[in-house]
Amino acid sequence: MQVNRLDKGGRIDRSKPLKFRFNGKSYEGYAGDTLASALLANNVSLINRSFKLHRPRGIIGSGAEEPNAILQIGKGAHTLPNRRATQVALQEGLVARSTKGWPGVRFDIGAINDVFSRLFSAGFYYKTFMFPQSLWNLYEDLIRGSAGFAKAPKKPDPDRYEHINAHCDILVAGAGPAGLMAALAAARSGARVILADEGTEAGGALLRSDEIIDGRPATNWVETIATEIRGYEDVTVLKNSTVFGYFAQNFLTITERTEGPIRQREWRVRARQVVLAQGAIERPLIFCNNDRPGVMLASAVSEYIRRYAVLPGKRAVVFTNNDAAYQAALDLHSAGATIAAIVDSRRTGAGDLGEQAKAAGIPVMPGHIVTNVSGRKRVTGVKIATWDGATEGMVDESIDIACDLVTMSGGYSPAVHLHSQSGAKNAWDDSLSCFVPGEAVQACESAGAGNGRWSLRDCLEDGARAGKVALAKAGFDMPDIAVPAASSQAVKPLEPLWRVPAAQDPDRCPKQFLDFQNDTSVADVRLAVREGYRNIEHVKRYTALGFGTDQGKLGNINGMAVLAEALGMSIPEVGTTTFRPPYTPVSFGVCAGESVGELYDPVRKTAVHEWHESSGAEFENVGQWHRPWYFPLPGEDLDAAVARECLATRKSLGILDASTLGKIDVQGPDAVTFLERIYTHNVGKMQNGRCAYGIMLGEDGMVMDDGVMARLGDNRFYLTTTTGGAAAVLGWLESWLQTEWPELEVYLTSITDQYSTIAVAGPNSRRLLHKLSCSVDLGNENFPFMSVHDAELAGIPVQLFRVSFSGELAFEVNVDSNHALPLWQTLMDAGEEFDITPYGTETMHVLRAEKGFVIVGQDTDGSVTPIDLNMNWMLSKEKDYLGKRSLSRPDCLRTDRKQLVGLLSEDNTTVIPEGAQLIEDLSAPEPVPMLGHVSSSYMSACLGHPIALGLVAGGWNRKDEVVYAWAAGCEPIRARIVSPVFYDPRNERQND
Amino acid sequence: MFLIECPWCGERAETEFSYGGEGGITRPAEPDKLSDAEWANYLFMRTNPRGAHQELWNHAQGCRRWFGVERDTVTYHISRSYVLGDGVKD
């Protein structure tokens, strides 16, 4: 039974009843309801428990400011945590739960915290759980378990999200009276306009208003204007869309909650001009027990009555320090509720609305304040005191009035969030007692209530003004736009009332909540000041004021005022905390957009990928590349397959798809000069047709990348880079050419994808190529180690490199990627007689480690010089190159630097875990000095025992010393320091 | 997200660019002749101003050209972007 639903009125569709469930019980509402209005219609007033003290909480607001009704919506993988019931549109079958309270929201064990609430003062966790420090991890688990709000879904999100990039001339944030006027002006002038509003329909505060515009109800006017705006071709109207971020150069982000197959959409808008018209947020009044269910903002009360036809209480007390709340009293009155009293802290009372209230027979109590509330799970009454305006001291709360609804208004705060995010400051307006947008620093105009214009007439005017200013700045002609007529009432000014005096001392009275979501009270802020906090940002972090998902939209300003009072400063002197995006919480799903699963990152496959797949390869990701990891035969695991692949390569013939190596073509008359400065070796001395192993250093002298480079002609080179470093190296080379040495004529071209590389390695590799009628003589004389020839192989033009990353006699075949797959197949067929064995990255790693060849990025980590790798022979003394000067810095010359060594486990069987730390003395007191770590470690099938490479402080002077390798979860392993070259130290095989 | 003007391609979103650190730092002609302190000054020390900052940007997802940008580190306002060196577009 929707007991609180009014018989008529509202913008709901009574022909469309909707069933929903809340905390396991079934209810009914109507299309057009929010979850909050539907709950109120069903007289559900206890919605949740508070964060720290587990106090009963109800709905307090009607929009983005709601701090209490934060619910878990939906079930399973679709569930949405922490949604504001005030902004969840009711749908058939909707399921919602309270996010706090165990076993349930009505009976909550944690409410015991409230009994002992004096213990839970500001900084409680810091003060209580710091000792002994070793137990912090345990405490943290318990605290995190009892805190927090809703549950995150455990399964991947099955819904789709998307991002849209958009440009516009004018972006209008907010479709209330000011936003509509600005958008109308912009639309009529022919500008490209985006009008975004977080509500389900345009109108903003007009949807709860009975005001008249141009002689007709405001909502009619809204419909006419919104229809006209939507009719322009270049206008995009986004409903259910929150402008949540304002970034540099007028870049704004909007989340749109859609109804189609896309659940949410993120708009990323670059706007030439922005009009900010998000309106204002009503402030609470800070009296004792102001958090009880049934205490509600005046604007929310009007909204529930007029927009949703829901009467949230039968007998109300209205408590205010300004005129606006009188409207709520009139709305309550005309909806049939009894107004026990309007308690107005001002002795002057209200203007025109006050007269209307009196005419309606509503009792008004000027010069009074509500000091306390009775009732726990629902308001049952208030205590009232007469007040002379003194903020110090205590008052005598002698009047009791029974009621089930307390309607409060502490005035309005312009929603300056986006303005602040844009980088601009806010200015304190003493006459309005609020922060208003200060001077804009980006191309934006604030308008309407968000600009401190409260009356409807002012809002309409200010909206039109802002629209015209934005249009003029964007270079559009002034449109023909008349500001419609609206009434303007005589208003008595608001009198600030940041903290309501109580019958007790403010530090001892029942809780006066500033931040409902985080249970921060007046006493907490005052305590922080007594403990020495002065800065609002520090007080925020200490008391959690404004730290919740609502970011303190409601009572933050009161908190600042309470802080100012305690410090004896003014509010502008205390200032605001920083407003950061997002304005309201944004789901992770829409942040990720389409970039999930397969679309997270592009996948790169080599030209031979199909063959690898059909041959049962296991793959590993190397950057974006999918590379064959190993090729298991039936029944083989990784170790068995790798052992077989290694032995086959060493004994006869292996074949590797090395296409992912970065490949760069370098041409130009200054190619030698350029490469001399890049590589450490003497590039100029290289003969045409010869290859060299090259390393590049950063200017800090650390090894950055390595690879084979070949001189193809006087002015032409071919470089290879590591698979992962290809793009970075190309960028690095370009940066030097363009910024430092623009006088050099050199052209760099990436040919990584255009050419595929097939490595054939092993004693039979030469025979294999012979078999395929290789067009060049492969003998040592014509084709020595480290040389390159153009050739034809089985009729396919190729570039042949005699290089070896395995230590075996080996060739790398570069071939146009279009021919790579047939060539691979040809090699496989021809190699059958040599038992040709495809191998993957794992075997490649083992073979190179047996030879002591490092992998940059695995055996080095950005703090390793070529000297540390024992590569002095590669460092030219005759020229300068990038990083050379750094190698003679004192730190690089230390003899106790970590140096590349080999490691053998003493038991000859244990494979040391990669990443294990190396220590000298097991009995050394903590902190144990670290000698270094293990960077590569494998079982070598060839040698019949495990091998490892590592970096060890002063390692070369520690030959044959025993150290301990220790990794988490393992016993320490005794390991002997040896040469990093385990196999064929005299390089006889590759030169064979 | 910044809107950055590539001198060759025009205004594009920041996602198309990569940042290259402070601009206007010239590599010493003869590093061998520098003291350790002088070399370290070139290598590590940056002005890190509060206000106008000369920076290098690369249109990595576009024309791949490096260029200079003057950006305010407080307001993020980009006052100009410019061709490096002789200032001539090639």
Residue A109 has pLDDT above 80, yes or no: no
Are A780 and A683 part of one and the same domain?
no
Q: Max Cα separation, chain B?
A: 43
* CA closest to A877 among chain B residues: B32
pLDDT score for A130: 61
Q: pLDDT digit string (tens) for A191-236?
A: 999 999 999 999 999 999 999 999 999 999 999 999 999 999 999 9
Which residues constitute the domain of residue A721? Answer: 662-750
Q: Which uninterrupted H or E stretch holds A678?
A: helix A671-678
Q: What mean pLDDT comes out for the span A977-988?
A: 96
The distance from CA A703 to its chain's CA centroid, rounded to whole angstroms, is 33
pLDDT score for A99: 84
Chain B residues close to A698, C-beta within 8 Å: none
- pLDDT bucket at A742, cuts 50 / 70 / 90: very high
> B57 in a domain, yes or no?
yes
Short-list A52, A141, A56, CA closest to A98? A56
Chain B residues close to A700, C-beta within 8 Å: 43
CATH number at residue A732: 3.30.70.1400
Smallest CA–CA distance, residue A465 to chain B, in Å, is 26
Q: Do B43 and A890 touch (CB under 8 A)?
A: no
Higher per-residue pLDDT: A130 or A404:
A404
Give the A:B interface size as CB pairs under 8 Å.
62
| DSSP secondary structure of A240-300 | SEEEEEEEGGGEEEEEEE-SSSEEEEEEEEEEEEEEE---EEEPP---TTTTSTTEEEHHH
Q: Do B58 and A734 touch (CB under 8 A)?
A: yes
Are A74 and A140 part of one and the same domain?
yes
Smallest CA–CA distance, residue A779 to chain B, in Å, is 43
Q: Do B20 and A735 touch (CB under 8 A)?
A: yes
> A369 in a domain, yes or no?
yes
Q: pLDDT digit string (tens) for A761-793?
A: 999 999 999 999 999 999 999 999 999 999 999
> A870 in a domain, yes or no?
no
Instruction: Provide the CB-side half-sphere exposure for A163 (13 A, CA).
Output: 14
> A888 in a domain, yes or no?
no
Q: Do B27 and A740 touch (CB under 8 A)?
A: yes
> B35 in a domain, yes or no?
no
Are A259 and A364 part of one and the same domain?
no
CATH number at residue B87: 3.30.2270.10
Q: Does B54 touch chain A (CB under 8 A)?
A: no
> A195 in a domain, yes or no?
yes
Chain A residues close to B20, C-beta within 8 Å: 735, 739
Of A697, A723, A750, the last residue of a domain is A750
Phi first, then psi: what are they for A272, rounded to 5°? -70, -40
Q: Do A739 and B84 touch (CB under 8 A)?
A: yes
Q: Do A739 and B66 touch (CB under 8 A)?
A: yes
Q: Do B1 and A248 touch (CB under 8 A)?
A: yes
Chain B residues close to A735, C-beta within 8 Å: 20, 56, 58, 66
Q: Are A503 and A372 in contact (CB under 8 A)?
A: yes
Give the percent of chain A with pLDDT over 70. Answer: 97
Q: What mean pLDDT comes out for the span A679-685?
A: 97
> A250 in a domain, yes or no?
yes
Residue A889 has pLDDT above 90, yes or no: yes
Are A310 and A365 part of one and the same domain?
yes
Residue A480 has pLDDT above 90, yes or no: no
> A581 in a domain, yes or no?
no
> B19 in a domain, yes or no?
yes
Q: Max Cα separation, chain A?
A: 114
* CA closest to B59 among chain A residues: A731
Q: Tell me the three state secondary structure of residue A170.
A: strand
Of A711, A726, A750, the last residue of a domain is A750
Residue written as token pair 């810091």:
A126
Q: Does a cis peptide bond (omega within 30 degrees of 0) precede residue A927?
A: yes
- pLDDT bucket at A124, cuts 50 / 70 / 90: low
pLDDT score for A126: 65
Which residues constitute the domain of residue B56? Answer: 1-24+50-90
CATH number at residue A329: 3.50.50.60
Are A716 and A793 part of one and the same domain?
no
Q: Does B24 touch chain A (CB under 8 A)?
A: no
- What b-and-e string marks burial along A667-698, b requiring 16 or more CB atoms within 10 Å of the CB? bbebbbbbbbbbbbbebeebeeeebbbbbbbe
Name the domain count of chain B.
Answer: 1
Residue A144 has pLDDT above 60, yes or no: no
CB count within 10 Å of CB A493 equals: 15
Higher per-residue pLDDT: A612 or A489:
A612
Residue A147 has pLDDT above 60, yes or no: no
pLDDT score for A146: 58
CATH number at residue A547: 1.10.10.1100
pLDDT score for A327: 97
Q: Which amino acid is at A226?
A: A
Are A427 and A400 part of one and the same domain?
no
Q: What mean pLDDT comes out for the span A505-534?
A: 95
Are A814 and A827 part of one and the same domain?
yes
Are A563 and A616 part of one and the same domain?
no
Q: What mean pLDDT comes out for the span A447-458?
A: 96
Chain A residues close to B40, C-beta within 8 Å: 889
Q: Do A889 and B36 touch (CB under 8 A)?
A: yes
Q: Are A338 and A364 in contact (CB under 8 A)?
A: no
- pLDDT bucket at A143, cuts 50 / 70 / 90: low
Name the domain count of chain A.
Answer: 7
Q: Do A251 and B34 touch (CB under 8 A)?
A: no
Q: Do B1 and A738 touch (CB under 8 A)?
A: no
Are A642 and A667 part of one and the same domain?
no
Q: Tokens standing for A753?
A: 């994808």
Of A730, A750, A770, the last residue of a domain is A750
Are A787 and A656 part of one and the same domain?
yes
Residue A153 has pLDDT above 90, yes or no: no
Q: Tell me the three state secondary structure of residue A88.
A: coil
Are A921 and A939 part of one and the same domain?
yes
Are A11 and A116 part of one and the same domain?
yes
pLDDT score for A520: 95
> B10 in a domain, yes or no?
yes
> A566 in a domain, yes or no?
yes
> B45 in a domain, yes or no?
no
Q: Tokens standing for A206?
A: 């007009």
Q: pLDDT digit string (tens) for B33-84?
A: 999 999 999 999 999 999 999 999 999 999 999 999 999 999 899 999 999 8
Q: Does B65 touch chain A (CB under 8 A)?
A: yes
DSSP state of A310: B
Gap between the Cα atoms of A818 and A806, Å rounded: 27
Chain A residues close to B56, C-beta within 8 Å: 735, 739
> A724 in a domain, yes or no?
yes
Q: Does B39 touch chain A (CB under 8 A)?
A: yes
> B44 in a domain, yes or no?
no
Give the percent of chain A with pLDDT over 90. Answer: 89
Q: Do A731 and B60 touch (CB under 8 A)?
A: yes
